[in-house]
Amino acid sequence: MMSLDKPIITSILDNDFYKFTMQHGVIKLFPHARAKYCFINRGEHTFPEGFAERLRSAVNELAHLRLSKAEKAYLTHTCPYFDPTYLDFLQGYSFNPEEVHIAQRGTELDVRIEGYWYRTILWEVPLMAIICELYYEMTGQKRNTDEEIVTANREKILAYKELGLTIAEFGTRRRHSYHVHNVVVDALNKYGTGTFVGTSNVHLAMKYQTRPIGTHAHEWFMFHAAKYGYKMANLLGLEHWTSVYRGDLGIALTDTYTSEIFFEQFDKKFSKLFDGIRHDSGDPLVFIDKAVAHYQKMGIDPTTKTIIFSDALNYEKVRRIAEYNRGKIGMSFGIGTNFTNDVGLAPMNIVIKMTETMPENRDWMPVVKLSDDKGKHTGIENMISLAKEILNIE
pLDDT tens, per residue, the chain with 394 residues? 344 468 899 999 999 999 999 999 999 999 999 999 999 999 999 999 999 999 999 999 999 999 999 999 999 999 999 999 999 999 999 999 999 999 999 999 999 999 999 999 999 999 999 999 999 999 999 999 999 999 999 999 999 999 999 999 999 999 999 999 999 999 999 999 999 999 999 999 999 999 999 999 999 999 999 999 999 999 999 999 999 999 999 999 999 999 999 999 999 999 999 999 999 999 999 999 999 999 999 999 999 999 999 999 999 999 999 999 999 999 999 999 999 999 999 999 999 999 999 998 789 999 999 999 977 789 999 999 999 999 999 8
Angle between helices 315-325 and 146-162 (to 10 degrees): 10
> What region does 214 belong to: left with phi over 0, alpha with psi -120 to 50, or beta?
left
Angle between helices 284-297 and 315-325 (to 10 degrees): 30
Whole-number Å distance between alpha carbons of 275 and 304: 8
Q: Are 138 and 175 in contact (CB under 8 A)?
A: no
Q: Identify any residues that bridge with 309 across adjacent strands, giving them in sequence order.
A: 279, 333
Angle at 53 between CA 51 and CA 58, to 5 degrees: 95
Q: Which amino acid is at 361?
A: N
pLDDT at res. 5:
63
pLDDT at res. 375:
73
Q: Are 136 and 144 in contact (CB under 8 A)?
A: no
Instruction: Supply the DSSP symbol for 347.
Output: P
Whole-number Å distance between alpha carbons of 321 and 325: 6
pLDDT at res. 2:
41
Q: Please state, in angstroms and as integers, the Cα–Cα distance from residue 272 to each residue in 146, 257, 287, 302, 337, following that order.
A: 45, 21, 19, 11, 32
Q: Are 126 and 14 in contact (CB under 8 A)?
A: yes
Pair type for strands 276-279 and 306-309: parallel
Whole-number Å distance between alpha carbons of 370 and 379: 9
Report which secondary-structure segment, H or E, holds 31.
none
Pair type for strands 196-199 and 330-335: unpaired
For 331-362, b/e burial (b = at least 16 CB within 10 A) is bbbbbbbbbbbbbeeebbebbbbbbbbbbeee
